[in-house]
C-alpha cells in the first residue's frame, strides 16, 4: 500500500525554485519523511529527512505541515542537473522504506 | 572513499540460469537491503538484513535468495524460479540502531542491470 502520494511529473525553469509536494496523510507519530532522488539509471541519492520541524541542508529545504500530513521539498535554484525522479518516503528504523513511483522533475533551460 | 560497490554493472544470462549479484559496503553499516526496479517504476524491497547471519523477506522475495555471512557483504541470487528476472537491482545499506531509534537513511549502490535472454 502506498504511504505517500506525489504528482507523477513536474516542470521547472532553470534558476527558479522547484517545489515538489508530497501527501502522507497516514503518517505515524514516530515516522520520518525522507526525500531521495534518482538520476536515470543510477542509484537513488539521499537528499534530506525530517520528523516535525522544517529542515535545510546544502541540497534542499524540507517543509513539513504542522499536522505532518504533507510536505514540500524545495530546490531553491534548480539547475539542469536536478532533472531526476524525486521520491518522498515515510518510515522509521523499524519499518523498511518503500519507494513509490515518485515525481519526475524536468528542469528546462 | 566509503561506499557501496555493486557488481557486475551489466549482466546477461540465459533463461533458467541462476545468477548472483554482488554487494559490498565499507561504511560499517549494520543493515543491508536489496531492491528491484522495473522500467518507469519505483523500488520494491526483495530482502533485507539488519545483522550478520540474519535476513528477512521483503515484498517480492519469491525466486530470490540472499546470505549475510559478513557485515560487509550481502549477495543476491536470482534463481530460475524468478519468473521475470530482467530488471535493475539496487543494493543499499544503513546504520541500524533498533526499531525505536528513529531515522533510517539509506546509502545506495550504482545498481546492476540484469537482462535474461
Q: For chain A, which ranges sit under pLDDT 70?
A: 1-2, 93-94
C-alpha B72/C-alpha A48 separation (Å) is 25
The predicted structure's pLDDT at residue A36: 96
Q: Encode pLDDT of B64-98 as tens digits.
A: 999 999 999 999 999 988 889 999 999 999 986 66
Q: Which three cell numbers stand for residue A93?
A: 528504523
Interchain contact, A46 vs B105, CB within 8 Å:
yes
Q: Which three cell numbers stand for residue B117?
A: 535472454
DSSP designation for A8? S
Question: Is the torsion defined by CA of A36, A59, A48, A76 positive or negative?
Answer: negative
Which stretches of A3-106 are DSSP H helices? none
Q: Encode pLDDT of A45-57 as tens digits.
A: 999 999 999 999 9
Which site among A44, A48, A86 would you substitute to test the B interface, given the most B Cβ atoms closer than 10 Å to its Cβ?
Answer: A44
* Cell 528513529 sits on residue: B102
Q: For chain B, which ranges sit under pLDDT 50?
A: none
Interchain contact, A98 vs B102, CB within 8 Å:
no
Residues sharing a CB contact under 8 Å with residue B99, sequence separation 6 or more, in sequence order:
A92, A93, A94
Phi, psi of A80 (to 5 degrees): -60, -30
Amino acid at each position: 500500500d502506498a504511504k505517500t502520494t506525489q504528482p507523477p511529473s513536474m516542470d521547472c525553469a532553470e534558476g527558479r525554485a522547484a517545489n515538489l509536494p508530497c501527501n502522507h496523510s497516514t503518517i505515524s507519530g514516530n515516522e520520518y519523511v525522507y526525500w531521495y532522488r534518482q538520476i536515470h539509471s543510477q542509484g537513488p541519492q539521499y537528499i534530506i529527512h525530517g520528523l516535525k520541524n522544517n529542515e535545510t541542508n546544502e541540497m534542499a529545504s524540507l517543509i513539513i505541515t504542522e499536522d505532518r500530513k504533507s510536505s514540500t521539498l524545495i530546490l531553491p535554484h534548480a539547475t539542469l542537473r536536478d532533472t531526476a525522479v524525486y521520491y518522498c518516503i515515510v518510515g522509521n528504523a523499524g519499518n523498511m522504506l518503500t519507494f513509490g513511483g515518485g515525481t519526475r522533475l524536468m528542469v528546462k533551460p | 572513499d566509503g561506499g557501496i560497490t555493486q557488481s557486475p554493472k551489466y549482466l546477461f544470462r540465459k533463461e533458467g540460469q541462476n545468477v548472483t549479484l554482488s554487494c559490498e559496503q565499507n561504511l560499517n553499516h549494520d543493515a543491508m537491503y536489496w531492491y528491484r526496479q522495473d522500467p518507469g517504476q519505483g523500488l520494491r524491497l526483495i530482502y533485507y538484513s539488519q545483522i550478520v547471519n540474519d535476513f528477512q523477506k521483503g515484498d517480492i522475495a519469491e525466486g530470490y535468495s540472499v546470505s549475510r555471512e559478513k557485515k560487509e557483504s550481502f549477495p543476491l541470487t536470482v534463481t530460475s524460479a524468478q519468473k521475470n528476472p530482467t530488471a535493475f537491482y539496487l543494493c543499499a545499506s544503513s546504520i541500524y540502531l533498533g526499531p525505536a531509534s528513529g531515522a533510517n537513511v539509506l546509502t545506495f549502490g550504482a545498481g546492476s542491470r540484469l537482462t535474461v535472454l
